[in-house]
Amino acid sequence: MENVSLVSLYSGSKGNCTYIRVGSDEILIDAGRSMRALTSALTSVGGDISRIKAIFITHEHSDHISALEMLSKKFRIPIHMTEDSAKKVLATTSYVKSNLICHSPLFEEKIGDITVRSFPTPHDSDMSVGYTIGLPSGEKIGYATDIGHITREIRENLLGSSAVVIESNHDLQMLHDGPYPAWLKVRIGSPRGHLSNADCSAFLPELVASGTRDILLAHLSGENNTPAEALKAAMSLNLGIHIDVAREGEPTRLI
Ligand SMILES: [Zn+2]
Ligand SMILES: [Zn+2]
């Protein structure tokens, strides 16, 4: 992929933000943590908040939106999200409204030369979506985190992507043995919760067969997973492609 950058600025239950640059078009997916954390992580990888043309939000959980209020106070960056997620966001902050662009769960938005398309994902929020980013070359990048399981829509949208960011949230044994209360373990492991390492890696051969060459495992649980465990599960398949793990507290460059 020529002239494309994709960097996870940080990832996991403490906050998520991914920076994508295609030529001179620069966008963010999600804006968790503080504005200060977001802008300094972005600067550290050569980005600049003033060049960001749009922010695309997957869903309204705080680890995906907590920088939005301050960002909206200081910058006029269009923020795209579904109507149902927006209702929840607007219940707690008024500033975001001025930059907000609401959509149905299936929407398409052109940002310069790239085309961002959403698709619904199974998660325990009011609404949740993943994205594909269509490039001028005809290639695409796929993005899906906070997904309880791999649905038909996720397959249809992610297959054929050159690069994919996909959730690999927890190791099943670590979740089972871990400190979380029983109700939370059930929630995380449910079909509308988070994707396990096992379910993630079971999907990877399909991605590779469809042409995917770069995969970033993302939204790892800090309690119920480690980068080594997530990578071990994905690498055990010997897929012969580039696989990396998005770190919780530091930028991870996929492309
Ligand atoms: Zn969530
Ligand atoms: Zn999340």
* CATH code of the domain covering residue 167: 3.60.15.10
The ligand placed nearest to the CA atom of residue 122 is: 1
| pLDDT tens readout for residues 152-190 | 999 999 999 999 999 999 999 999 999 999 999 999 999
Residue 243 CA to ligand 2 center (angstroms) comes to: 21
Domain-embedded: residue 247: no
Mean pLDDT, all residues of the chain: 97
**Distance between CA atoms of residues 238 and 58, nearest Å:** 31
Domain-embedded: residue 223: yes
The ligand placed nearest to the CA atom of residue 221 is: 2
At 1, the pLDDT band (50, 70, 90 cuts) reads confident
The ligand placed nearest to the CA atom of residue 60 is: 1
Closest among 142, 150, 143, 141 to 123, alpha carbons compared: 150
**Distance between CA atoms of residues 101 and 82, nearest Å:** 8
Residue 12 CA to ligand 1 center (angstroms) comes to: 10
Average pLDDT over residues 137-147: 97
Domain-embedded: residue 72: yes
Q: What is the pLDDT of residue 96?
A: 87
Strand locations in 160-225 (E): 163-167, 214-218
Q: What is the pLDDT of residue 18?
A: 98
Average pLDDT over residues 136-142: 97
**Distance between CA atoms of residues 255 and 243, nearest Å:** 11
Residue 131 CA to ligand 1 center (angstroms) comes to: 15
What proportion of the chain, given as a percentage, has pLDDT over 90?
97
Residue 4 pLDDT exceeds 90 = yes
Domain-embedded: residue 193: yes
Domain-embedded: residue 69: yes
Q: What is the pLDDT of residue 234?
A: 97
As for how many domains the chain has, the answer is: 1
Helices marked H in 159-195 — which ranges?
172-177, 182-189
Measured between alpha carbons, how far is residue 235 from residues 12, 160, 163 in Å?
20, 20, 16
Q: What is the dihedral of CA 227, 229, 233, 235, to 10 degrees?
A: 60
Average pLDDT over residues 204-230: 98
Residue 60 CA to ligand 2 center (angstroms) comes to: 9
Residue 93 pLDDT exceeds 90 = no
As given in the structure block, the two tokens for residue 199 are 């379910």
Residue 167 CA to ligand 2 center (angstroms) comes to: 9
Contacts of 115 (CB under 8 A, 6+ apart): 108, 109, 133, 134
Residue 2 pLDDT exceeds 80 = no
What proportion of the chain, given as a percentage, has pLDDT over 70?
100
Domain-embedded: residue 254: no
| pLDDT tens readout for residues 15-59 | 999 999 999 999 999 999 999 999 999 999 999 999 999 999 999
Q: What is the pLDDT of residue 88?
A: 94
Residue 157 CA to ligand 1 center (angstroms) comes to: 20
Domain-embedded: residue 200: yes
Question: Model's pTM, two decimal places?
Answer: 0.97
Range of the domain at 174: 4-242
Q: What is the dihedral of CA 128, 130, 133, 138, to 10 degrees?
A: -130
Domain-embedded: residue 38: yes
The ligand placed nearest to the CA atom of residue 13 is: 2
As given in the structure block, the two tokens for residue 203 are 């999907």
Average pLDDT over residues 180-208: 97
